[in-house]
Amino acid sequence: MLDEQRLKILTESAKYDVSCSSSGSKRANAKGGVGNASVGGICHSFTPDGRCISLLKILMSNRCAYNCLYCPNRAEADVPRASATPDEICELTMAFYRRNYIEGLFLSSAVEGSPDSTMEKMLETVIKLRKIYRFNGYIHLKGIPQADRSLISRAGLYVDRMSFNVELPSEKSLRLLAPQKSKEGVLLPMKQLALEKAAVKEEKAKHRKMFLPAGQTTQLIVGASPESDGQILKLSEAMYRRFSLKRVYYSSYIPVVKHSLLPDKCAGLLREHRLYQADWLMRFYGFSAEEIAGEGENLPEEYDPKCAWALKNMQFFPVEVNKAPVEALLRVPGIGTLGAYKIIKARKYAALDFDDLAKMRIVLKRARHFITCGGKFYGSENAAAIKTMLMLEEKSEKYEQLSMFSSPEVSLSALTGQL
């Protein structure tokens, strides 16, 4: 049986993987089995860092043969090492699941020995869990790059989601910081799985096997290497398109290892947050990466990427809430997918004014500069003034006192008292 000491080591090594979702699969329970997958995903707890616990996130082993510079478990590091057997992991998963602590298992591993032997051991765990323990809950398996193709596609038949981490946004950085990994080693299996999933979809429903029902995801470390946000978003967009990924996760770099090739400062959560906002714009709001940020550009810190886009494209605004098509509403800063849907439904019955929007809980502090209601406009005409106001609002959300030395436009307004 796994003891607390080893659980601690194996979890602490796995916790920097940000993927936590348990959504996308609707695997049903079988007769005599335990568990099912909930298509919307379920969060079971939240840790003091504000992240959710949905899956039992654990490594099979942290004894790694690789020496990626940014990784606390790299071969040269002097850290406590541990590993678990397939049965130990299965037992813990079942015990936690029966108590409703978790939604399923997130299994990852360091490369112990060779990629193939590591992948074999992970596959054995997953098959045991499904066949012997009759577990039908959610399983997310981290793929080992450069493992044998047949092992990878076999795993696809048992798990709900698989992910290969791209880690660094360019080949050059990868070569520098993770010399044993290669771009192809990560991208090829992703491509292979995407093709196989598409092939399974083609088969007749009657004979169709379940293959990665919740698809694939990947993760990028932001801030460990010099790539710009524009470049990162372009990469994400390409991966969404080519591998039909469900999600790209961005993880702002936390220095756990000191090295001359690595920055010794945290990349900061704001940059990560802005990237997620941009990612959502690409997936749900019909934006392209090019529109949000050009090749070498970074996202602005002062306001969100949608505001930034709108301020650059004032010719599209203001839009009339009672007439605009849903695509135009979605591009208004402050109106989200839910807000746009509410407006579309409500305006069939009655013309909407600003009071109605407020009652419907549509936040107007940003939106009012970009919309009219029945021809009325309550925003500011002047683009520079809007810019300053948006910045101030973003700042006030963080309860920060204005400083004369913060960003130029804000500090100017602090001096003159004018907005």
Partner 1 sequence: MNVYITDGSENSFYTAVFNACTDKNCIVTSSHTVQLPMDSTVIVVQADGNKCGRVQKKLLAYAPRCLKDISLILRRGSAAKEQVALEYIRLIVQKRAPVGDMLSHPAVIAAREEKKKVTLEAHRFTGFLRFMEGKGGIYYAPFSPDNDILELILPHFTARLADQPFVIHDTARGKAALYNRKECVIVQTDEKVSVPLSDCEQHFQSMWKEYYRSVNIAERPHEKQMKGYMPVRYWKYMPEKT
- Positions touching partner 1 (CB under 8 A) are 2, 4, 7-8, 11-12, 14-16, 29, 32-36, 38, 40, 42-54, 56-57, 92, 95-96, 98-101, 103, 137, 254, 266, 269, 342, 345-346, 348-350, 352, 356, 359-360
Min dist. Cβ of residue 117 to partner 1 (A) = 26
Min dist. Cβ of residue 281 to partner 1 (A) = 22
Could you say which DSSP state residue 61 is in? B
Nearer to partner 1, 128 or 347 (CB): 347
> Tokens 């936390």 identify what position?
254
What 3-state class would DSSP assign to 124? helix
Min dist. Cβ of residue 9 to partner 1 (A) = 8
Min dist. Cβ of residue 74 to partner 1 (A) = 19
What angle is formed at CA 331 by the lines to CA 326 and CA 335, rounded to 5 degrees?
80
Single-letter amino acid, residue 217: T
Could you say which DSSP state residue 71 is in? -
Min dist. Cβ of residue 97 to partner 1 (A) = 9
Span between the terminal Cα atoms of the chain, in Å: 64
Residue 23 has a CB neighbour count (10 Å cut-off) of 19
Taking the CA atoms of residue 146, residue 149, residue 152 and residue 154 in that order, the dihedral angle to the nearest 10 degrees is -160
Q: Are 379 and 319 in contact (CB under 8 A)?
A: no
Nearer to partner 1, 98 or 259 (CB): 98
Helices 86-98 and 115-131: angle between axes, nearest 10 degrees: 40
Q: What are phi and psi of 64, to 5 degrees?
A: -105, 140
Min dist. Cβ of residue 180 to partner 1 (A) = 26
Min dist. Cβ of residue 12 to partner 1 (A) = 5
Nearer to partner 1, 103 or 394 (CB): 103
Nearer to partner 1, 53 or 414 (CB): 53
Q: Which helix (H) or strand (E) element contains residue 45? A: strand 45-46
Nearer to partner 1, 32 or 417 (CB): 32
76: nearest Cα among 184, 180, 182? 180
**335-344, long-range: CB < 8 A, 24+ apart:** 335/362, 335/367, 335/371, 337/284, 337/285, 339/363
Min dist. Cβ of residue 226 to partner 1 (A) = 23
Nearer to partner 1, 134 or 154 (CB): 134
Min dist. Cβ of residue 348 to partner 1 (A) = 7
What are 374's two structure tokens? Answer: 């029945």
164: nearest Cα among 113, 99, 108? 108
d(CA 272, CA 225): 14
What angle is formed at CA 238 by the lines to CA 233 and CA 241, rounded to 5 degrees?
125
Nearer to partner 1, 28 or 205 (CB): 28
Nearer to partner 1, 45 or 313 (CB): 45
Upstream peptide bond of 333 is cis (omega within 30 degrees of 0):
no
Nearer to partner 1, 154 or 273 (CB): 273
